[in-house]
């Protein structure tokens, strides 16, 4: 499902230039240059704690097209859970990246590239029981040049945290989808450690394309909904 940018489809009232994804990145290759491309890397994103109101949690998987200047020009939704997909896509449209490059005539040249974002939002569970998790809907086919999400783990709400929170985690991975570095993008919060703990348990399959960059980046948006207290029975 292609998502048109700056159209009436996506609500612009939510300011969330973020959390996570994953998000993983893969760059296209310039066949004439015959050089392996480097992947784009997130340069600027603004996090916001406010999230859409929803009964349950959910997942979203998006692929961005990033041009040679590092701007997002197109968004494809691969896995969808309303209203979280809108929330992530509306934010990601404003992200800025260090563009993917190839070496041409001895110097790096920016090229268009694909970026994978994986987002997961914890449901607002009751203190006395489990919350609702809305099954995502698959609407697209992942690109062969990107790692594929195999499994993910919902984050655990930190016992010392309050309210809602969202974090963006950058994961550096190899072309074989082996994760080996994690970095929080944005200001520190009480949800950072729980976000990284969840993302460490995610598993990806290697890109099917043989020319995937040696170093990729995953961007994971991880959202936390505050637990709800059970309703107090009214006395008759």
* pTM greater than 0.85 (yes/no): no
Asked whether the beta carbons of 139 and 65 are under 8 A apart, the reply is: no
What are the residues facing 229 on neighbouring strands?
none
Phi/psi at 197 (5° precision): -60, -40
Domain ranges of the chain: 2-224
Walk along the chain (236 residues) and give the pLDDT tens digit of each residue. Answer: 666 564 333 333 333 333 333 334 444 443 444 446 899 999 999 866 578 888 788 999 999 999 999 999 999 999 999 999 999 999 999 999 999 999 888 898 999 999 999 999 988 875 544 555 667 889 889 999 899 999 999 999 998 898 889 999 999 988 888 988 999 998 889 999 999 999 999 999 999 888 888 889 989 999 998 887 665 555 65
The tokens for 217 are 């980046």
Q: What is the CATH number of domain 2-224?
A: 3.30.2420.10
């Amino acid at each position: 499902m292609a998502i048109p940018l700056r159209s009436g489809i996506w609500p612009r009232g939510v300011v969330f230039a973020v959390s996570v994804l994953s998000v993983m990145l893969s760059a296209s290759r310039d066949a004439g240059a015959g050089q392996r491309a480097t992947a784009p890397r997130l340069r600027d994103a603004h996090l916001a704690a406010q999230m859409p109101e929803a009964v349950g949690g959910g997942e979203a998987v998006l692929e961005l097209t990033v041009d040679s200047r590092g701007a997002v020009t197109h968004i494809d939704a691969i896995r969808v859970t309303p209203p979280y997909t809108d929330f992530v896509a509306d934010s990601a449209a404003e992200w800025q990246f260090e563009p993917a490059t190839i070496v041409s005539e001895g110097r790096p040249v920016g090229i268009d590239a694909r970026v994978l974002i994986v987002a997961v939002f914890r449901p607002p569970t009751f203190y006395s029981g489990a919350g609702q998790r809305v099954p995502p809907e698959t609407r697209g086919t992942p690109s062969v040049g990107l790692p594929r999400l195999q499994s993910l783990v919902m984050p655990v709400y930190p016992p010392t945290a309050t309210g809602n929170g969202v974090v963006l985690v950058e994961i550096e991975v190899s072309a074989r989808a082996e994760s080996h570095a994690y970095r929080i993008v944005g200001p520190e919060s009480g949800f950072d450690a729980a976000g990284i703990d969840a993302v460490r348990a995610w598993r990806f399959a290697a890109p099917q394309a043989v020319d995937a960059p040696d170093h990729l980046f995953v961007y994971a948006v991880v959202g936390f909904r505050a637990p709800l207290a059970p309703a107090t029975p009214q006395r008759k």
